[in-house]
Amino acid sequence: MLNQDLQMGDHGNDVRILQEKLKILGFYPALINGDFGLATEAGVKAFQKEYSLPETGIVDEEMWELLFSLTEVAYSSAFSKYPTLSLGMSGEEVRDLQTKLKTLLYYTGEINSLFDTATQTAVKRFQFHNNLTTTGVVNNQTWSILDTLYGNINECVIEKEENKDNVHIVVKGDTLYSIARRYNTTVDAIRRLNQLTSDVLSIGQVLKIPSSSSDNGTIPSTTYTVQPGDTLYSIARRYNTTVDAIRSLNNLSSNVLSVGQVLRIPSSNQNTPQLTHTVQPGETLFSIARRYNTAVDAIKSLNNLSSNVLSIGQVLRIPSNENSPQLTHTVQPGETLFSIARRYNTAVDAIKSLNNLSSNVLSIGQVLRIPSNENSPQLTHTVQPGETLFSIARRYNTTVDTIKRLNNLTSNVLSIGQILRIA
């Protein structure tokens, strides 16, 4: 039993064990990586709430005991016929283990029924690649996944003989994106056909590959690789789409992204509206529709909403309207109506009138409509962690010198939150 308390910011094998057990019980949908981040804390709090523990987000001894007792039950019966195997043991069960590991390309030594260091290394590699705790000890959970993958390989032999082009066995380095590109299909089509709930693959996993005809009717899309500092909101705004559209197309269950993750982005078309609105506290579909001179049903239809319930921070696409301004501004720390008006070459009264403001008081994150002006900047970018002038210029298909000239920059040094004019 683990006695160490864990909390946000912790790292290591104990965190991996925590994530593994939360995943078994359905409280942690993300990748098991040994980092106690927001997703792990959310899983801990959800577990604590479910089992009437104090919702601290901290894993103490009481929670550890409950986690171990619950996960032991979850794996107690299906593979109880197998003993726990570890270094130094021998027998037919070890031979069975070595045979399966060798079939799955983890074990390259002789099948000798002896659990030696080579066998232990193969077990650890298998556990690591399948998001298990890398103990080198073969317990019920390791047997469970090992037997599942080994069974898939055996079934695949017949299927491959019948149609070699419709099955792919995952090898080291494979991703859903690389597999989709190899077979001229889409990540979404492979996920649907195999009923995958995430993009995580394991070596030896058998995937059915859609035939060319299976892709008919898929949503036209492009792909985007997540960069440091990216959020679903910034990506959606960049591609003139919505967070919900990207989440739906990629079957995402949360807004958490990882650097290097490949997302499918809905293709834009000439009918795509240019205006978005971020929901503020107290707003309703009716008040938003009235503000933009449109209808509630038009907003619901454009955003595929099934009810009138909104959440603070939700980004809505607003139907195009010739009378609607095309420019919005999100208030940053330290900004005033005067500084914003000067930036966009307009007047304080014009902004107040357009946004129905009764005072000059602004709140951080407030979204303001900006009066149309031929001299107004058409595109801005807020600097995110890890970004450079070069990465921003490449993102917007411009040059570093152009951005520096537009913003009167004398060096390449940027600060997080800095707003740059792009064009």
pTM, rounded to two decimals: 0.27
Based on the domain organization, do 171 and 205 belong to the same domain?
yes
Q: Is residue 116 a part of any domain in this protein?
A: no
Q: Is residue 121 a part of any domain in this protein?
A: no
Average pLDDT for the chain: 76
Based on the domain organization, do 198 and 223 belong to the same domain?
no
Q: Is residue 388 a part of any domain in this protein?
A: yes
Return the amino acid letter for 271: N
pLDDT by residue (tens digit) across 77-110? 444 456 788 999 998 889 989 988 887 778 888 8
The total domain count for the chain is 4
pLDDT by residue (tens digit) across 280-309? 777 788 777 777 667 777 788 777 788 888
Based on the domain organization, do 18 and 66 belong to the same domain?
yes
What is the C-alpha to C-alpha distance for residues 235 and 246, in angstroms, rounded to an integer?
Answer: 9
Answer yes or no: is pLDDT of 393 > 60.
Answer: yes
Q: What is the DSSP string of 309-326?
A: ---TT-EEEE---TTS-S
The CATH number for 200's domain is: 3.10.350.10
Q: Is residue 349 a part of any domain in this protein?
A: no
pLDDT by residue (tens digit) across 180-199? 777 767 787 888 888 888 78
Domain extent for 180: 163-215
Q: Is residue 327 a part of any domain in this protein?
A: no
Q: Is residue 7 a part of any domain in this protein?
A: no
Going by DSSP bridges, is the β-strand pair 367-370/380-382 parallel, antiparallel, or unpaired? unpaired
User: Which tokens go with 111?
Assistant: 């099948």
Task: Give me the helices (H) in 113-175, please.
Answer: 117-129, 140-162
Domain boundary among 30, 55, 74: 74
What is the C-alpha to C-alpha distance for residues 169 and 164, in angstroms, rounded to an integer?
Answer: 11
